[in-house]
A and B are shown apart, each in its own frame.
Chain A
């Protein structure tokens, strides 16, 4: 069975450019989570969705970050404009609402120069 799929796996961009990260959750999962992982701050929850609806975006660092989930099988995390401090590994995870286990994608490693 396919797990959580993220693309791209690696992204190198220049400061000021727009970055779009993509996620396809496991089929049948109706909760989706975006995380950011850095050495300094560890693993941070940015936003999560239930049934395609954003529930809590209090972890989104600032207005430069936005996330959408137009349907049950696709979500995006956009950074516009990007800054060097956004460099991190971004993970998408999905779960079945009401259950405890989250299933993580392989992550997108973002480097902003």
Chain B
């Protein structure tokens, strides 16, 4: 079956540090890949996505590149802010019965200190 593996957290960084959150996936075929972010007390919201190999998704200074050869979609940001503190979920999806059903990773908590 399909699965997503993320690095365990929490990841604790100082403001302006470089961020990498690793994500690898197992899937039959070529899924679309996503990063969702969950701020405290809120639901998940889409951060970025990539739909085919070598695509780079980017938003709010975050980037991730779809690497088919390593089945990875690592999330990066050059300089984190306190406001980036949240839980980050990597996900993949395929179409199923007219909908796209995501498979989520366990989530990685990011804590950014001033």
Contact = CB atoms under 8 A, between A and B. Distances in A.
A53 to B, nearest CB: 10
Contact of B107 (A43, A45, A98): A43
Contacts of B105: 42
Interface stretch (B16-24, B39-47, B69-77): B39-47
A57 interface: no
A71 interface: no
Classify chain B: how many residues form its interface, as a range: 20 to 34
Contacts, number: 58
A107 B43 contact: yes
A106 B43 contact: yes
Given A91-B44, A93-B43, A98 B102 contact: no
B101 A91 contact: no
A45 B96 CA distance: 14
B58 interface: no
